[in-house]
Every structure is written in structure tokens, then in C-alpha cells.
A = this chain, B = another copy of it.
């Protein structure tokens, strides 16, 4: 079976997020006064061929651990849906 996997990789809470700060300042300059606490990370989508949803999730977690996320500075979330 094939699953569509959505991964969100965000800077870890409490660590510096210069891109988020830059976006927050830019939003303020554009008069979006209501925006705060902005964080910017990576969104990754991919198809994973696996026997079941748990296997697809485990494969995605391994991909994050080995390549997609920095284990020291980033956290990730994985969502799996059938295709």
C-alpha cells in the first residue's frame, strides 16, 4: 500500500528562530498587528510504500531521524493518510 505522509519540522521551542523573527517583523511592517509568536519551519510531503499505516509512520520517523530533521535543534510531527 501507499500512504501520503505529511511531516512538519519546526525549530525547537526556546531555541533561536531568526526566520520566524524576520517574518514577524515583516508582518508588523505590513500592518498585521494581530500576528505574534511566529515560527517558520519545513513542510515535507511524500508517498511512502508500506504494509500498513504504522510501518509508514515508522519509516517517516526514521527519515526524520536520519535526514529531514536536526535532532539537536528541531522537532517534527508526522501525519499519515491512506492514498
Closest Cβ neighbor of A49 among chain B residues: B34
State the majority secondary structure of interface residues on A: strand
Contact in complex: B49, A45 (CB < 8 Å) = no
Could you say which residues of chain B place their CB within 8 Å of the CB of A39? Answer: 44-46
Closest Cβ neighbor of A8 among chain B residues: B43
- By size class, the interface of chain A is 20 to 34
Our pick among B23, B42, B43, B48 for the contact of A35 (Cβ within 8 Å) is B48
Residue of A6, A26, A45 with most chain B CB atoms under a 10 A cut-off: A45
Residues of A within 8 A of B (CB): 6, 8-10, 23-24, 26-27, 30, 32-50, 59, 62-63, 66-68
